[in-house]
Structure 1
Amino acid sequence: MLIYKAMVSVNKQLNKLVTIPFPHLEAGINSLNKAGELMAIAGAKKAMIVTGRSSSAAIIPALCNSLDEHGIDYAIFNQVMPDPTIATVATGADFYKQFHCDSIIALGGGSPIDCAKVIGAKVVRDRPVRTMAGKLKIRRKLPPFLAIPTTAGTGSEATVAAVVSDPAARQKFAIVDPALLPDYAIIDPKLMIGLPQDMTAATGMDALTHAVEAFIGTYNTPLSDKYARQAIEKIFEFLPKAYNNGQDLEAREQMAMASYEAGCAFTRAFVGYVHAIAHQLGGMYHIPHGQANAILLPEVLRLLHPYCKARLEELANVIGLNNGSEFIDAVVELNKKLNIPNGFPELKAEDITLISQRALAEAHGTYPVPGYLSQSQCERLLKQFLVVTPEKAAPDVEASKKALTEHAEG
């Protein structure tokens, strides 16, 4: 553990030497119409539009019309699925070259934006995607890059990170480099009107997790604290409103800005154990990232409370509460309002040791966590999220009762 602490201390000092800019931001209703103007300013002639197959039929034509108005050609790559894979990135880089593109527009949630980032990285580096994992492996300017989020959660339009899935290893890995930061970002709340309730909830809780982990980690700065506080205040007020009324443009706009602010916070101060564990659950079982974060967040905070009591009290004050315990309880209540489940039916007891090992390796090797969890603590944490289903239940009734008793005692 001393080695991890030393690494974090060194990285904290190095982190201060890295200047992270902000994307040029256009925000507000109908700001999508500025896409063509921004790409023209960037000197783009033919843009690769990276998006998912489920992108709204109304959004793509509006984006293309804006590009047409400024004489910019485009080619649409709509093969991005949730948890983009190494293969999708490689296919995307080939697509970019095949259609002679000179710029990239990412349209969608975190998956298309992250995928577009790594496509850009592979275009300029032309090396296996897996070798880009970790920090500062790109170090080359990407092609002109515009990010247009259609969910309010990942904040990827404001970050220097991208997450890619390796299906063969049943694992996700992060690529972190200032080169991945988009040049431009458009935040148009109208693009989020059609977002389903469950996705509104999960992505909103993802943004909350970004802000909270950035605030309690040891890399926090006055700037990251400012963005984290702003995001947390907005999320507690406007996420239930956006969830209950998806047509509420004010709530959508406030949540979109909260997501951006949380992204600004964690790209400078990093995240922590919640993300480390959620990445493993996503890589192994394809559990939606935001939902995994939401379920894990309050219980991870309970374990870390002794190490960051004062910081959690500050967050409690942001939303009008008195102490860290009340803040954690408020997160639990928010999950309930959003109908977030309280366990992982996909989780298998036999996978818990491996998940814990991978999560701790990611957290201790990358994130400035406020206190350190052991392997046994992480395993106990995960065991409480086991959900007994008919498929998992043992045929022997007595054996099932014994297993449940042991789980409750553990």
Structure 2
Amino acid sequence: MFLYKTVIGVNKQLNKLITIPFPHVETGINSISKAGELMLSAGAKKVMIVTGRVSSMGMTAPLCDSLQAKNIDYAIFNQVTPDPTIATVLNGADFYKKYNCDALIALGGGSPIDCAKVIGAKVVRDRPVRSMAGKLKIRRKLPPFLAIPTTAGTGSEATVAAVISDPAAGKKFAVIDPVLLPDFAIIDPKLMTSLPKNMTAATGMDALTHAIEAYIGTYNTPLSDNYAKQAIEKIFTYLPKAYENGQDVEAREQMSIASYEAGCAFTRAFVGYVHAIAHQLGGMYHIPHGLANAVLLPDILHFLQPYCVKCMNELAAVIGLIDGKEFIDAVIELNQQLNIPTHFPELQICDIPLIAKRALAEAHGTYPVPGYMNQKQCESLLRQFIAEQSHCDNVTAT
């Protein structure tokens, strides 16, 4: 614990020395039509569009029309799947070079945006992708980069981080560097109206987790606090509305802004145990990241509340409640409204020690958590999420 506090204390001072800019943001219905103008202003001549096979359906047409209107050529790389892998990044970098691209547009949820970030990093710094894990490993400006989110959750359009999967190791790793921040972001709520209810719920809770963990962590600043509180207030008001009626454009727009605000908060103040554990569950079982966050959030807040009573009370006040206990109850109630499950059917008891070990290594090496969790506590917490006490046929390798 002493070593952890020392590392976090040093990193907190170093963090103050790093300037994190903001992207140029365009918002509003049909703002995707401004993509060509933004790329033209950056001097782009041929853009690589990074997207997924499903997420791009019906959305690439207005983007391509906007580029063509400004005589900007493009090539579409639609190979991104949830939890983008090292192999996808390598294929994307080869694609970028093969088609002589000079700029990037990411269209989709967090996976295409994160993948585009690391593709850009691979293009400007040709080194093994795995070696980019950690902080400040890129340090070279990416090609002109526009992010267009189609979900309201990851906030990746506002962050300096990208998460990539390493299937061979059954884990995920983060690449963190201010150069990964997109130059431009287009937040168009019309792109989100067809999002299914389950994805609306999971991505919305992902944004809520970003804001809460940024606020209660020890790297928080008045700037990050302000973004976090704004996001939390919007999410509690508009996420149930967006969930119940996907065509509610006002709810979609407010959630897209909340996601961006939460992204601005956590890219400056970092996250915590919820993300550290969720990353392991995603890497090992391919559980969607936002869903994992949503399921984990209430129990981890219960564990951390004694360490951050003042912060939790302040968050309660943001949504008109009295104290941290009421705030946690409100998170539980929101999960129930969104039909978020309370267990992980995939979780096997024999995997828990390894999941806990990896999660704590990630958290204690990177995140400024308000209270310290040891291996035994983490394992005990994880056991609460086992749906059935089934044995493992194969023990996951370390």
**The two structures share one fold, judged by TM-score above 0.5:** yes
Give the equivalent residue in structure 2 for 1:40.
40
Normalised by the size of structure 1, how large is the TM-score?
Answer: 0.95
Q: How does 1:227-238 map to 2 (within 5 A)?
A: 227-238=227-238
Letter in 2 for 1:343: H
Give the 5 Å matches for 1:77-156.
77-156=77-156
SS in 1 for 2:312: helix
Structure 2 counterparts to residues 254-403 of structure 1, below 5 A = 254-388=254-388, 392=390
Which residue of the partner structure matches residue 50 of structure 1? 50
Q: Deviations over 1:77-136 (max 9, x none)?
A: 000000000000000000000000000000000000000000000000000000000000
Opposite residue 128 of structure 1, the aligned amino acid is P
2:149·2:187 contact (CA, 8 Å) conserved in 1? yes
Could you tell me which amino acid in structure 1 is paired with residue 120 of structure 2? G
Q: How far does residue 58 in structure 1 lie from its aligned partner after superposition?
A: 2.1
Instruction: Please give the secondary structure, in 1, of the residue aligned with 2:11.
Output: helix
Partner of 2:395: none
Whole-angstrom distance in 2 between the partners of 1:223 and 1:118: 27
Match of 1:287, SS state, is: coil
Count matched residues.
Answer: 392
Residue by residue over 1:226-280, the C-alpha shift from the partner in whole angstroms, topping out at 9 and shown as x without a partner, is 0000000000000000000000000000000000000000000000000000000
> For 1:343 and 1:179, how far apart are their aligned partners in 2?
37
Q: Matched residues in 1 for 2:39 and 2:195: separation?
A: 26
Separation in 2, partners of 1:352, 1:161: 27
* Identity between Structure 1 and Structure 2 (%): 76
Contact 2:216 2:370 in 1 (8 A): yes
Q: Offset at 1:339?
A: 0.1
**Correspondence 1:236-255 to 2 at 5 A:** 236-255=236-255
Q: 1:30: Cα distance to partner?
A: 0.8
Give the distance between the partners of 1:309 and 1:330, measured in 2 at CA: 16
C-alpha displacement of 1:57: 2.9
Partner of 1:63: 63
- The one-letter code matched in structure 2 to 1:367 is Y
2:173 maps to amino acid: F
Counterpart AA for 1:160: V
2:349–2:391: 8 Å Cα contact kept in structure 1?
no
Note the residue ranges of structure 2 that are not aligned, 5 or more in a row.
393-398
Q: C-alpha deviations, 1:36-56, integer Å up to 9, x for none?
A: 000000000000000000024
Structure-2 separation of matches of 1:44 and 1:244? 40
Task: Give the whole-Å Cα distance in 1 for the aligned partners of 2:132 and 2:5.
Answer: 24
Encode CA deviations 1:190-209: one digit per residue, 9 max, x unaligned: 00010000000000000000
**Whole-Å Cα distance in 2 between the matches of residues 275 and 282 of structure 1?**
10
How many angstroms does 1:311 deviate by? 0.1
* Secondary structure, aligned partner of 2:185: strand
TM-score, normalised by the number of residues in structure 2: 0.98
Paired residues of 2:363 and 2:369 also in contact (CA < 8 A) = yes
Aligned residue type for 2:358: R
Is 2:46–2:73's contact at 8 Å kept on the other side of the alignment? Answer: yes
CA distance in 1, matches of 2:269, 2:306: 20
SS in 2 for 1:386: coil
Partner of 1:180: 180
CA-based RMSD: 0.9
Report the counterpart of residue 396 of structure 2 in structure 1.
none
| Partner in structure 2 of residue 404 of structure 1 | none
Shift of 1:59: 1.1
Instruction: Give the structure 1 partner of residue 22 of structure 2.
Output: 22
Give distance in 2, aligned partners of 1:369 and 1:60: 40
- Aligned residue in 1 for 2:198: 198
Query: Equivalent residue for 2:159?
Result: 159
| Alignment match, 1:397 | none
What is aligned with 1:407? none
1:398 alignment partner in structure 2: none
What SS does the aligned partner of 1:148 have?
Answer: strand
Post-superposition shift, 1:388? 1.3
Q: Matched residues in 2 for 1:61 and 1:359: separation?
A: 41
How far did 1:369 drift? 0.3
By how many angstroms is 1:138 displaced? 0.3
Q: Is the 8 A contact 2:316 2:322 kept in 1?
A: yes
Q: Distance in 1 between matches of 2:391 and 2:267?
A: 42
